[in-house]
Amino acid sequence: MGLPSGRELREVAHVVALPLATRFRGIDVREAVLLRGPSGWSEFAPFTEYEDAEAATWLAAAIDYGWGAEPDLVRDVIPVNATLPAVEPAQVAEVLDRFGATRTVKVKVAQAGQTLADDVARVRAVRERLGPAGRIRVDANGGWNVDEAEHAAHALAPFDLEYLEQPCASVPELAELRDRLRDWQLPIAADESVRKAADPLAVVAAGAADLLVVKAAPLGGIAASLRIVAASGLPTVVSSALDTSVGLAMGARLAAALPDLDYDCGLGTAALLAADVTPHPLLPREGRIPVDRVDADPDLLSRWVATTERRDWWLARLDRCADLLHDHPAG
Residues lying near Mg ion in the complex (CB under 5 A): 139, 191
Closest approach, Cβ 98 to Mg ion, in A, equals: 19
State the minimum distance, in angstroms, from the CB of residue 94 to Mg ion: 22
Q: How far is the CB of 191 from Mg ion (least distance, A)?
A: 4
How many whole angstroms separate alpha carbon 199 and alpha carbon 241? 20
SS3 50: coil
Name the residue among 20, 27, 25, 214 with its Cα closest to residue 108. 25
Whose Cβ is closer to Mg ion: residue 150's or residue 191's? 191
Q: Which residue is nearest to Mg ion (CB)?
A: 191
Comparison of 102 and 193: residue with beta carbon closer to Mg ion: 193
Percent of the chain that is helix, strand, coil (3-state, to 5): 40, 20, 35
Does 51 belong to an annotated binding site? Answer: no
Catalytic residues: 108, 215
Give the number of other CB atoms < 10 A from CB of residue 164.
Answer: 27
3-class DSSP assignment, residue 244: coil
Identify residue 3 by its one-letter amino acid code: L
Please answer whether residues 139 and 176 qualify as being in contact, where contact means their C-beta atoms are separated by less than 8 angstroms. no
Q: Is residue 191 part of an annotated ligand binding site?
A: yes
CB of 266 to Mg ion, least distance (A): 8
The smaller minimum CB distance to Mg ion, of residues 139 and 162, is found at: 139
Taking each helix axis as running N to C, give the angle between helix 222-232 and helix 52-67, from 0 to 180 degrees, rounded to the nearest 10: 110
Q: Is 319 exposed, middle or buried (0-12, 13-18, 19+ CB in 10 A)?
A: middle
Name which of 135 and 285 has its Cβ closer to Mg ion. Answer: 135
Binding site feature residues: 139, 165, 191
Binding site feature residues for Mg(2+): 139, 165, 191
